């Protein structure tokens, strides 16, 4: 019974990580004119940091092996780069920015650090 529950939880984390990945792509490429504007300078960088923290942490939880943690970080950073390029090339209403890329990378690094702290003994 315990093995079934463990397998079910593992499958659920995979589906959650896939959903987060798709949501980030969707939110990165849609037109944002319908969203309320928050009058804080560069607040979108904070959103990028949080999004890539969640993305990286969810994939780290899914794979949960120490030999994959740097590969997950690199994959998430590359994913961020690809989405920034897509914003510039595929849309007329979005623009990729170097500061967005840096915020994405910082979010991934913080997720890696948090994951390493929380699961130091179990991985």
CA distance linking residue 46 with residue 93, whole number of Å: 20
- pLDDT, tens digit (0-9, with 9 covering 90-100), for 8-58: 666 788 899 999 999 999 998 888 766 666 667 778 899 999 999 999 999
pTM (2 d.p.): 0.84
Any idea which residue has 């390493």 for tokens?
A: 116
CA atoms within 13 A on the CB side of 97: 11
CA distance linking residue 73 with residue 53, whole number of Å: 10
**Is the pLDDT assigned to residue 93 strictly greater than 90?**
no
CA distance linking residue 109 with residue 38, whole number of Å: 26
Q: Which residues contact 28 (CB under 8 A, 6 or more apart)?
A: 83, 86, 87, 94
């Amino acid at each position: 019974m315990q093995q079934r529950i463990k397998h079910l939880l593992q499958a659920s984390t995979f589906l959650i990580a896939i959903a987060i990945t798709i949501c980030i792509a969707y939110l990165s490429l849609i037109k944002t004119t319908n969203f309320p504007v928050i009058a804080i300078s560069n607040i979108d960088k904070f959103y990028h940091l949080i999004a890539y923290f969640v993305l990286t942490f969810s994939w780290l939880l899914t794979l949960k092996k120490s030999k994959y943690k740097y590969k997950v970080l690199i994959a998430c950073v590359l994913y961020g780069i690809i989405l920034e390029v897509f914003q510039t090339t595929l849309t007329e209403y979005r623009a990729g920015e170097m500061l967005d890329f840096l915020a994405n990378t910082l979010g991934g690094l913080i997720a890696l650090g948090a994951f390493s702290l929380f699961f130091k003994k179990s991985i």
